[in-house]
Amino acid sequence: MSLKILSLLILIVGHLFAQAGVIDKVVAVVDNEIILQSELDFQASVYASQRGMDPKSPELRTQLLNAMIDEKLVYAQAELDSITVTDAEVAQRIEYQIQVLKQQYGSEASIEKMYGMSLEKIKRELRDDVRKNLMVQRLREKNFAPVEASRREVEEFYQNYKDSLGMIPEKLRIFHIFRNPKTTDRLKNQYRDFAKAVLDSIKQGASFEEMAKKYSEDPGSKAYGGDLGFVKKGVFYPQFEAAAYALEVGQLSDVVETPVGYHIIELLERRGESIHTRHILFKFKTDEGADLEAIEFLTELRDSVVNEVNTFQYYAKRYSEDKETAPFSGDLGTFYLNQLDKNLLDVVSKLKQGEISFPKRIDYAQGIYGYHIVYLQSRVPQHPASLEEDYAELKRLADEYKKQKQYETWVASLRNKIYWEVRL
């Protein structure tokens, strides 16, 4: 079970305790935060059930309580360091957690039945905890992201832990060419006309918040009336930012086009280089003709490579619409077989080294999709870890080991700096 989902479950358990009128108890205080008996009991129950342990074990409960105290200490330091996260980031993380729960339980109705509250209420209850978790994550990244192991430290890590590293899983080097079906001009005109009609309604007195909740197709902000929180330059699409930064506080934009659709933007507040906006998104959608055109184009590219007209990398650099990988000849990277998501695994598992797949639909977040062909350049079988073949992976592990050691030392120092007390 992921920490994010465990966090949600702990929150729900606390809510159910309150609903049932069960008397809870404070077991620890950290700065301005408390840790409840119900939270500790639940963590002990989950941890013990996963490992076949006794949830009432004093050693286990002490270990878990110390970990919970450490997390609260880091949050307290994040507040002291004025670490902030935007409402949009909180909303996006909540949406992600809800999507994971939907995969786990099958539907929104099942989630609501499981936890005895509406999905909207679950989201509201989650906001404070999610914000705190993001602040902790942001502070940890700020302090320890630059930490790296030297060559000597990687070699020492390998010598010390090579017997426990086990086998390196099968490794794949993958390239792709991606095409995004284009929305026809006829459909784009329809979306623009509708966006203009909504904008006119707002100008005539309709509530921006209600219009966003009713019409916006941005799942991360829709439920919050389109609120995107405070964001610095470089987060949004350039077209969105150009329009938003040109606004005066309280002013509405015209209909703004970005690669994902049309937006209506309102500037709520400006703070230095950061702006607080809300928006309504009308997403572009495609018709069957655009899908067929993308599939046929990719099939022609595949045939050209198979017939040795030119290389896969040449066509990827020239025609792929994946802006992140096209400059690198479509290189998605090197992956272990068990790291691949189901869609990519389904494609590459049927390929031999050097083969290219037929066009396959690929779905991204927020309903964005396209088609791609995948080239399996190399396949390295499972093997024992070695410094020569697996240095990059060993360095990543050594980096994480070094970061964790420094993090533990830093957290221990916070215990001498920030007030905390156990009340068992």
The one-letter amino acid code at 133 reads: N
User: Tokens standing for 244?
Assistant: 């938003």
**Of 16, 12, 8, whose CA–CA distance to 100 is shortest?**
8
Tokens 């450490």 sit on residue: 70
Please state, as a whole number, how many other Cβ atoms lie within 10 Å of the Cβ of residue 38.
19
CATH of span 168-182+287-383: 3.10.50.40
**Are residues 371 and 362 in contact, defined by beta-carbon separation less than 8 angstroms?**
yes
Residue with tokens 């502070």: 139
Q: Per residue in 331-342, pLDDT tens? A: 999 998 888 888
The encoded tokens of residue 242 equal 């150009």
Cα gap 4→90, rounded to integer Å: 13
**From CA 310, how far away is CA 301, in angstroms rounded?**
9
* pLDDT recorded at residue 26: 93
How many Cβ atoms sit within 10 Å of the Cβ of residue 30? Answer: 23
User: In this predicted model, what pLDDT tens digit does every residue of 316-325 receive, in sequence order?
Assistant: 999 999 989 9
* Dist CA 345 CA 349 (whole Å): 6
The predicted structure's pLDDT at residue 16: 52
Mutual angle of helices 37-51 and 58-80, in 10-degree steps: 120
- Which 3 state secondary structure label does DSSP give 149? coil
- Helical (H) or strand (E) element with 28: strand 26-30
Q: Which residues contact 137 (CB under 8 A, 6 or more apart)?
A: none
What number of residues does the chain have? 424
Please give the C-alpha separations between residue 167 and each of 51, 162, 340, in angstroms, as whole numbers. Answer: 23, 10, 18
Q: Is the pTM of this model over 0.75?
A: no
Give the CATH class of 3-145.
Answer: mainly alpha
* CA-based nearest residue to 422, from 22, 149, 27, 144: 27
pLDDT in tens, the chain (424 residues): 444 455 555 555 555 554 444 467 999 999 999 999 988 988 888 888 888 899 899 999 999 999 999 999 999 999 999 999 988 888 888 888 888 888 777 888 888 887 778 888 888 888 888 999 999 999 999 999 999 999 999 999 999 999 898 888 899 999 999 998 877 777 888 899 999 999 999 999 999 999 999 999 998 899 999 999 888 888 888 999 999 999 999 999 999 999 889 999 999 999 888 899 999 999 887 777 788 889 999 999 999 999 999 999 999 999 999 989 999 999 999 998 888 888 889 999 889 999 999 999 988 755 568 899 999 999 989 999 999 888 988 999 999 999 999 999 999 999 999 999 999 7
d(CA 192, CA 263): 9
Contacts of 36 (CB under 8 A, 6+ apart): 14, 24, 25, 26, 27
- All CATH 3.10.50.40 domain ranges of the chain, comma separated, are 168-182+287-383, 185-283
CA dihedral sign, ordered 122, 123, 126, 130: positive
Helix, strand, coil in percent for the chain, rounding step 5: 55, 20, 30
CATH fold group of domain 185-283: Chitinase A; domain 3 (3.10.50)
Per DSSP, the three-state class of 107 is coil
Q: For the stretch 47-61, what's the b/e string if a residue is b when 16 or more beta carbons lie within 10 angstroms of its beta carbon?
A: bbeeeeeebeeeebb
116: left (phi over 0), alpha (psi -120 to 50) or beta: left
What are the strands, taking DSSP E only, across 232-381? 256-258, 261-271, 274-283, 331-336, 360-363, 369-380
